[in-house]
Structure 1
Amino acid sequence: MNAIFVLIAGIGAMALGYLFYSKFIAERIYKLDPNFRTPAHEFEDGVDFVPTNKYVLWGHHFTSVAGAAPIIGPAIAVIWGWVPAFLWVILGTIFFAGVHDAGAIWASNRNKAKSIGALTGDVVGKRARSLFMIVIFLVLLMVNAVFAVVIAGLLVDFNSAVIPVWGAIFVALIIGQLIYRKLVGLLAVSIIGVIALYTLIGLGPAFPLALPETFMGLSDRAQWIIILFGYAAIASLLPVWVLLQPRDYINGLQLFIGLILLYAAVLLAGPDMVAPAFNTDVPAGTPSIVPLLFVTIACGAISGFHGLVAGGTTSKQLDKETDARFVGYFGAVGEGSLALAAIIAAAAGFATLADWQAVYHSFGQGGVNAFVAGGANILSNGIGLSEGLAQTLLTVMAVLFAGTTMDTGLRLQRYIFQEWGQIYDIKWMQKVIPATLLAVGACVLLAFGAGGADGSGGLLIWPLFGTTNQLLAGLTLLVITVILVRYGRPMYYTLIPLLFLLVMTVAALIIQLRTFYEQQDWFLFGLDIVVLIAAIFIALECGSTLNKLRKGELESSEVKD
């Protein structure tokens, strides 16, 4: 099939989902109230609680959640065929991710911008909260440690991306000042920022930069990992308007321009989907499509990490409650669009089926490299970009989004340590600097303690990312469902997605448990058991709470609209 039809069908379906289904969810289920005083106004402090223009906030939320995962997952999952990956991304975006993201923002906003973990303690119970916090910590640890490895690898493999990647930080700092101090209008700032970013992308291939292959016994990848953690620590300490908001906003614009260029190239070149629609001849060792498809593609269909961002940073910046629809649901649509691009690049970016099979020779192959290589071929054939410039453009796109996710992820991990400090009354842990050092220390310990001098330790626990992340999404939907029942609202629009996710995730955890046992990987085997037990107990706690609410044993609290 020609990729043009896949593109039109995917974008058209997600657009209809936003126009109609998100409107129904916002007005009839969450009942978003424009007059509700949001925590951003109630607790405004100029650091974390900052009322923010919805377009700028959308940029923050979208780019924080759209890291490398919506590229990696879909570009790996096409090994089962591009049709299953396409259907899960489109249906997942419309009926799962958008509802999840907007719901997490709404739930946090209605409860003083508390994180989903803290909120669990209020609406379900302290035991559920403790278990939930463990799952949240593991997801953040995986994201931060692994994305550092991914970014470092891309900066080494494509050193033409170094100047635009780091130059984008200085662009964001300038834009932050212009926006916050209202020196220039948002439109002018957007144009200036985009021009600056694409100028840097043009300079990248002309001035490639590389670190020494070895320095003090560390490889160039390990050096980049240390630099990235140092940067992320500093970025997580700055007020959100200084770097986080403007970096995310301008990166959001850059992504959409990059997607428009890639989509335009698809329309002009009209490449065929050379990958099988349904792959009946998968390589040996490839796991069953059910349930593994639904955890291999997490970000891009639905992701628990989104709930952490929604309740961790986004809800603290929400100017009006009604903005949750645009910021949350449309943010999910944006990530779905990126996942769709990854599928097309990985399935139509190769000249022949044999070329595609040479890359997808075993499960786990493809990923970012398939996206960059396939997408660059489409850009070159469609709009005439040189292969080097096209690769730089797509590499910068992937790195910038992974980087913004690290910025937000480390800030969220600091929040987790601070919340633990509050829960267990550890005064020093509640302070910003110690909590940040603990967050960075945990990531560095995993990276270099488990991975040795190359700093790749995060990859050791990556096989559990998909299941843990999807479990977190299901549990977030459970919390939202309990809140809906408490408010006397319809719950089936969140209950059905959460049941589907819990079934698929628990099944995947059990399958992986057997795999880890056969491989005698006792570290992942033990971690899998921890996550599985946490999932079962949290689900039982939430189920008990829902049952008590249904029987009237707990008091509901209907919100006055």
Structure 2
Amino acid sequence: MAVTNNDKRQLMSAIILLLLGLGGMAAGYFVYSRFIASRIYKLDPNFRTPAHAFEDGIDFVPTNRYVLWGHHFTSVAGAAPIVGPAIAVIWGWLPAFLWVVLGTIFFAGVHDSGALWASVRNRAKSVGALTGEVVGRRARTVFMIVIFLVLLMVNAVFGVVIAKLLINNPGAVVPVWGAIAVALVIGQLIYRRVIGLGLVSVLGVAALYSLIYVGPSVPIALPDQVMGLSANASWILLLFAYAAVASLLPVWMLLQPRDYINGLQLFVGLILLYGAVLLGNPHVVAPMINSDIPAGTPSLIPLLFVTIACGAISGFHGLVASGTSSKQLDKETDARFVGYFGAVGEGALALAAIIAATAGFASLADWQAVYTAFGQGSLTAFVDGGANILANGMGMDAGVAATLLTVMAALFAGTTMDTGLRLQRYIFQEWGEIYQQKWMTRPLPATLLAVASCLLLAFGAGGADGSGGLLIWPLFGTTNQLLAGLTLLVITIMLVKRGRPAIYTLAPLVFLLVMTLFALLMQLKSFYEKQDWFLLGLDLVVLVAALLVTLECTASLKRAFKAPPETV
């Protein structure tokens, strides 16, 4: 059923959403982030960053801020800023839109740049490890368990997500794996200074889009059974083998250039999608506030704020900022561009997901046919809706458009998995330092432990199919948002100890902790009613851990308010 001209007059143009969303985020970066960077974090261009202090050519590498932005942004983006908003529009487009835009400006940007600043000022330690110095040992121990759970969920689930994308779209295999070869070449060109960064960028993006064009004509599919393993399990093992190697290579060789080129291709993709919106002027067919939500859909409050994490605020961003990005920051002042603008990039992607999932359908009936239950929509709504917008606005072939968007999602999931496994390796190495286990501080044993823990979850809980990561995924949203709130708590304590205004981090963290703890309690009730004792027990562990860290941090915050400011 097509939308008539009379219907269109009653619908809102997607152009309005685009201009309001991007305009608000631009104002946030050019105005609000400048205030936060100069008056609150007081970023110092003369401060010697850990990238210079501990330069080793492997993990600690001073990096051009544009290249580092590409690494940071694509590492934190993954598929989450697409999936979350595309699910959340089931409550209507307005709540999702407001949370993405306001969350990017006042929550995510402050959180991401703050985590980067806090880590840089503490020898590039992860947010969990530096909690020991800022708050105390007990808080550090519990906090690092929460961090480990988040990384375990991300790595195990993204392995499944990428595997399914490659199985469902064999045409994406060549561009997804070919991007690795492109990144290796780009890394050499950048760091051997063979040619300038501008030309490298053009060549890299051209090579990547050439692969996307060639991919559908050279589809690759694994056999249904390989040595007794399904195609899904085989892809998962291949992905973790690659991620293990990537974790051990110097960051400049693969991780940085891969993320940088992926960041550029995202902007090309966004320009195409937003350009199609401007040219085709699609109308939002989904309701502003959905009063006819499907049965079984949870309440908007507090679930909206954990369903959309990446794209508004996400604890995983703090792990990347304090894990890999802080070890590569050339100047402390680059934290504003890398951290805050990285959040803006992700907000722009989440905005595109909202538009694709609400304006990419011919009619309200078509939209309702997809959104029949909570959790529906997701990547399918983004890919199909975005392909329709590109086909109508740009005249692009719908199949090519769908492949482009699928590859975009798969590449982001892959870069997040690369960084996530490296971060897990760092966690094991930090545990080795804390508990004086020297063998764990070495990269290879720590990497093997990280891979083993992910595969144990994938195959131990999921059987021969390797999809065990999906078992604990329902807890990701709440655990991830708790991590974001607790990271803001650590940043707030650092600010108070330095005698600086803390309201700009304190207000977001209070809101986030209240909403997330509320959501955790609702999940407990749901797991109990379903008699899902495993998730119920794990939910209790996360809830108790969060309460313990919150109490420790609150006590530390009270002491900081009473004590005279530190001389830094």
Same fold (TM over 0.5): yes
Alignment of 1:342 onto 2:353: yes
**Partner residue in 2 for 1:47:** 58
Structure 2 distance, partners of 1:280, 1:461, is 30
Matches within 5 A, 1:3-14: 3-14=14-25
Q: CA RMSD in A?
A: 0.7
Which runs of structure 2 are paired with 1:274-285 in the superposition (5 Å)?
274-285=285-296
Query: Aligned-pair distance for 1:442?
Result: 0.6
TM-score of the superposed pair, with normalisation by structure 2? 0.97
Deviation at 1:431, TM superposition (A): 1.4
* CA deviation after TM superposition for structure 1 residue 357, in Å: 1.0
Given that residues 71 and 339 in structure 1 are in contact (C-alpha distance below 8 angstroms), is that contact kept between their aligned partners in structure 2?
yes
Match of 1:556 among 538, 542, 565: 565
What SS is found at the alignment partner of 2:393? helix
2:454 corresponds, among 443, 456, 461, to: 443
Question: Separation in 2 of the partners of 1:213 and 1:84?
Answer: 42
Q: Any idea what the Cα deviations from partners look like across 1:171-196, whole Å, max 9, x if unmatched?
A: 00000001011111000100110110
- For the residue of structure 2 that corresponds to 1:326, the secondary structure is helix
Question: What's the CA shift for 1:556?
Answer: 3.5
Aligned to 1:462: 473
TM-score for the superposition, normalised by structure 1: 0.99
Cα offset for 1:374?
0.7
Which residue of structure 2 lines up, in the alignment, with residue 547 of structure 1? 558
- How many Å apart are 1:36 and its aligned residue? 0.5
CA–CA distance in structure 1, aligned partners of residues 143 and 42 of structure 2: 27
Q: Of 393, 396, 401, which residue of structure 2 is paired with 1:390?
A: 401
Answer yes or no: is 1:424 the counterpart of 2:424.
no
Q: Secondary structure at the match of 1:17?
A: helix
Distance (Å, rounded) in 2 between the aligned partners of 1:31 and 1:429:
36
Contact 1:67/1:402 (<8 A) preserved: yes
The answer to whether the 8 A contact 1:488-1:558 is kept is no
Distance across 1 between alignment mates of 2:561 and 2:26: 35
Unaligned stretches of 5+ residues in structure 2: 1-11
Aligned to 1:220: 231
4+ aligned runs moved over 3 Å, structure 1: none
**Which residue does the alignment assign to 2:102?**
91
Code of the residue aligned with 1:125 in structure 2: it is G
Tell me which residue corresponds to 2:334: 323
1:461 and 1:104 map into 2 onto residues whose CA distance is 26
The equivalent of 1:514 in structure 2 is 525
**Which residue of the partner structure matches residue 498 of structure 1?**
509
Task: State how far apart, in whole Å, the 1-side matches of 2:233 and 2:289 are.
Answer: 39
| 2:343 is the alignment partner of 1:332 | yes
CA contact 2:391–2:397 (8 Å) conserved in 1? yes
Q: CA deviation at 1:220?
A: 1.4
Q: Which letter does structure 2 place at the counterpart of 1:192?
A: L
Counterpart position of 1:195: 206
Partner AA of 2:462 in structure 1: G
Provide the C-alpha distance between the structure 1 equivalents of 2:403 and 2:251, rounded to a whole number of angstroms: 28
User: Which residue of the partner structure matches residue 35 of structure 1?
Assistant: 46
- In the alignment, does 2:56 pair up with 1:60? no
**Cα displacement (A) at 1:282:** 0.7
Deviation at 1:419, TM superposition (A): 1.0
1:156 aligns with 167
Give distance in 2, aligned partners of 1:422 and 1:6: 49
Distance in 1 separating the partners of 2:385 and 2:459: 32
For residue 451 of structure 1, give the secondary structure of its aligned residue in structure 2. Answer: helix
| Equivalent residues in 2 for 1:480-491, closer than 5 Å | 480-491=491-502
Verify the 8 A CA contact 2:497 2:561 in the aligned structure 1: no
One of 540, 544, 558 as aligned partner of 1:533: 544
Match of 2:196 among 171, 185, 199: 185
Amino acid at match of 1:239: P
Deviations 1:426-465 (CA, angstroms, capped at 9, x unpaired): 2221111111011001111111110111111101111110
Distance 1:215 1:521 in 2: 33
The structural deviation recorded for 1:558 is 3.3
More displaced 10-residue stretch of structure 1: 252-261 or 362-371:
362-371
Residue 216 of structure 1 deviates from its aligned partner by 2.2
Assess if the C-alpha contact under 8 Å between 1:131 and 1:538 holds in 2.
Answer: yes
Unaligned ranges ≥5, structure 1: none
TM-aligned CA deviation for residue 312 of structure 1: 0.4
Residue in structure 1 matched with residue 363 of structure 2 by the alignment: 352
